[in-house]
Amino acid sequence: MNAAASSGRLKVMVEGALCVALAVVFSGFRMFELPQGGSVTFEMAPLFYFSYRRGFKWGVAAGAMSGALMMLFGSYITHPIQALLDYPMALACVGAAGFFEEKPVLGTILAGAARFACHVVSGVIFFASYAPEGQNPWIYSAIYNASHMMPSLLISGVLAMILLKKLGTP
């Protein structure tokens, strides 16, 4: 690898580390928190922005790394599979928005939907006991997770679009 390529790769890794750090810090600023976990934050904004700037591969790596760090800094874990679904896998989905670099709104929606799916599956498998008597656990999990994911996705998506417009892509 030549020096220019190495320098470019280092620049992307530093940018990714900054976006991961921002995502972890932003996850601590909760605008609203639900009783059984989940909160409204804007932690996805730096991950969306980084994904659109650097693409799918780098975005997924940054998302998974931020999820792993969030897991270390205050998470609710009942089972190793639940931990993977709710943290590294869910946030890796956010990074997948970079697959739609040319259509960031579509990427934001689809990546948010993929993250939502991770949380719903986790909710059905590990938190179905919270569903009211007689309610389908899939419906309960979908409603519960939508109550915090939709506002977070909207806020983060808008912030990422503003950043893209102001700062652009490389």
Which domains, and CATH codes, for the chain?
Answer: 3-167 (1.10.1760.20)
What is the C-alpha to C-alpha distance for residues 48 and 155, in angstroms, rounded to an integer?
12
CA nearest neighbour of 164 among 67, 90, 66, 97: 97
- Rounded distance, CA 115 to CA 134, Å? 26
* 55 in Cβ contact with 98 (< 8 Å): yes
The predicted model scores a pTM of 0.91
Write the single-letter amino acid at 114. Answer: A
- What distance in Å separates the CA atoms of residue 63 and residue 143, rounded to the nearest whole number? 24
Token couple for 16: 């990714």
Q: Going residue by residue through the chain (170 aa), what tens digit of pLDDT does each one get?
A: 676 677 789 999 999 999 999 999 999 998 888 877 788 999 999 999 999 999 999 999 999 999 999 999 878 888 999 999 999 999 999 999 999 988 999 999 999 999 999 999 999 999 888 889 999 999 999 999 999 999 999 999 999 999 998 887 76
Nearest-angstrom CA–CA distance, 28 and 96: 23
